[in-house]
Amino acid sequence: MNSEARDGVEQLFDQYKNEVFRYALYLLKNRDDAQDVVQEVFLRAYKSWDRFREESSHRTWLFRIAHNYIHDIIRRKKTQYRYLKDLGSELRVSRTLESKLEMLDLISTLSIQHQQVLLLRFVEDLSAEDIARIFGWTAAKVRTIQHRALKQLRMAVDDNGAEMQMGGDSSGH
């Protein structure tokens, strides 16, 4: 066992396991599947440690591995996933949290692509450039998708009569 790879992946695991789990849980809506994703992401990171070229951050690299693996899972199951639904019933603790959960429920009505961009941008706080690296897109494409997703989200909020406050800069900068 390569001790440099083992030590490096252990360090990354300690630092990013919760973020990878959260991302997988949002997309797969199943705790067991999300835990499997975490395990597989870090196993794949270990196996490909020597090939990591540091063209992106370790965090972005791990999210790219997670994205690819989750995409494989979704494709294999060939089912439509409803993202984030029923999460609110477990976590309703405060009015602020309720508002966030209502927003997450509205996000779940968007296309998979829009959901992923909004989750990575506003929940995981990744830059447009990092998201572009994860999906193999340009940063401009990420910002365009983000803009369209926020526009649809605003329309959904207006339709539901709710008030929306999105944190962060909606331009993707």
List, for residues 45-98, the tens digit of each pLDDT value: 999 998 887 778 999 999 999 999 988 887 776 533 333 333 333 333 334 555
H/E stretch holding 104 reads helix 95-107
Supply the pLDDT for residue 154. Answer: 80
CB atoms closer than 10 angstroms to residue 68: 14
Span 152-167, average pLDDT: 63
Residue 26 lies in a domain: yes
Supply the pLDDT for residue 137. Answer: 94
Q: Let me know whether 51 and 98 are in one domain.
A: no
- The values of phi and psi at residue 100, to 5°, are -65, -40
Domain boundary among 46, 81, 116: 81
Average pLDDT of the chain, as a whole number:
79
Tell me which residue range forms the domain holding 88. 84-167
Distance CA 57, CA 47 (A): 17
Token pair 């959901």: residue: 115
Q: Let me know whether 114 and 163 are in one domain.
A: yes
Kindly report the CATH number assigned to the domain that includes residue 72: 1.10.1740.10
Give the chain's domain count: 2
Q: Let me know whether 97 and 61 are in one domain.
A: no
Supply the pLDDT for residue 82. Answer: 39
Span 100-119, average pLDDT: 83
Q: Let me know whether 73 and 127 are in one domain.
A: no
Q: Let me know whether 66 and 94 are in one domain.
A: no
